[in-house]
Amino acid sequence: MKKITQILKNNHQQIIETWEKEVLQNVVASRYTNKIALYDHIPNILDDIIDITERHETIEWDTEDYKIARIEENSLEHGRHRASSVNFTADQILREYIIFHNVILQILNEHNYQDVAIFHLLKCCIDKAVLKSIQSFTESIQEMQNKLIGTLAHDIRNPLSAARLGVEMLDLDTSPERIQKVKKMTMNSVDKALNMVEGLLDSISIKAGEGMMLSFSKLNLYKEIKTIFEEAQVIYSENITFECEDEDLDGIYDPIAIRRLLENLLTNAVKYGESGRPIRLKVTKENDQNLNLSLHNHGAPIPEEKQKEIFEFLDHNKDGNRKDLKSWGIGLTLVKMVANAHGGKVSLKSEEGFGTEFTVTISRTINEPGKQRTKLK
């Protein structure tokens, strides 16, 4: 066994602990990351380096040398992980690796190890890891940005379609009362679309670990939900019912985000529900702190193996090109993000004979009024 391999194996824990200490001192984003998340794939990358030094005497002066290819996977995962961790940037990832390299050199120096060829091999390994990590970090940020923008663009269609429908419903024989009702619906829809355009612009500037921008305010959510229900009755031919025993739904919410959440669930309920059977929108108070928003439709259940996957459109460990998940995922990822941003969660029950019911639990009190960017979970 090579001397360097033995040194690295014997000092594996010391290298990781020293690296962690210096990273916490010199990489600002690391201070906002828990220990498990901070370590992520660094120990695995060290294991890859140990394996490479054990197997090979020399490496070509080229990061594309096949001998160091096994370091790629963990380096790619490291970059993806940093993209979902708050406040990391490409230069901070580079600094992480510089510290990692220096700590290894320090350990080798303490053991009087002076093999220039192995130092060259080590540098090639670190360079390869840096390139792959920053590449995957950058691509992951771009992917999140594209998907958030795509989700917003997708959702803008709903209020614009409602507005267009309202205009088409007006004719010379329309009663004044009907005109006022349709006008109000159309104006509300246009306002919602304009607010979503603002969110579209905000999504262009996302950072690591961040999602869309939300704007929280104190209000009674009952009026917003009832408006969504009334518009859905006009837009869709299905029988949609609304249940809400208590109209006092005061709290701090982003009403546009809640609207998008419910519109996505309604769209899916209509699309995948059994025609001719009712769709139920139900709102209940769980306690003084939380609200439950649920949408139920009849029809074929979602296969159990897909019930978790349909929420993971932004998960970089998933295959974003899966056609069988795309139609669900683009909206349900947003539902999950909005629920998380409101201190809540999404649950799903989908069974044969029961149909499908999504229940979103949100907190009425966890947020403060003002703008806040969501965090990726």
Measured between alpha carbons, how far is 37 from 71 in angstroms, rounded to an integer? 19
Q: Please enumerate in sequence order all residues whose Cβ is within 8 A of that of 375, keeping only pairs 6 or more positions apart, or say none.
A: 86, 209, 210, 211, 340, 341
| Helices and strands counted in the chain (H then E) | 11, 8
209: Cα separation from own chain's centroid: 8
Q: Which residues contact 143 (CB under 8 A, 6 or more apart)?
A: 314, 316, 320
Say what the pTM is. 0.60
Do 130 and 220 share a domain, yes or no?
no
Q: For the segment 207-228, what is each residue's pLDDT rounded down to a tens digit? A: 676 777 888 999 999 999 998 8
* Residue 120 or 70, more confident: 120
pLDDT band with cut points at 50, 70 and 90 for residue 328: very low
Higher confidence at residue 325 or residue 234? 234
Task: Please check whether residues 244 and 360 belong to one and the same domain.
Answer: yes
Same structural domain for residues 274 and 131? no
Write down which residue in 123, 141, 159 finishes a domain. 141
CATH of the domain at 87: 1.10.490
Instruction: Report helix, strand or coil for 366.
Output: coil
Domain boundary among 89, 124, 141: 141
* Residue 17: both structure tokens together: 């602990």
Tokens representing 329 are: 């995922």
User: Is the separation of the CB atoms in 229 and 283 below 8 Å?
Assistant: no
pLDDT surpasses 90 at 64 = no
Task: Check whether residue 10 and residue 125 sit in a common domain.
Answer: yes
Q: What is the pLDDT of residue 173?
A: 62
Would residue 319 count as lying in a domain? yes
pLDDT tens digits for range 85-104: 877 889 999 999 999 999 99
Q: Coil, helix or strand for 326? A: helix
Q: Which domain holds residue 20?
A: 3-141
Q: Are 309 and 346 in contact (CB under 8 A)?
A: no
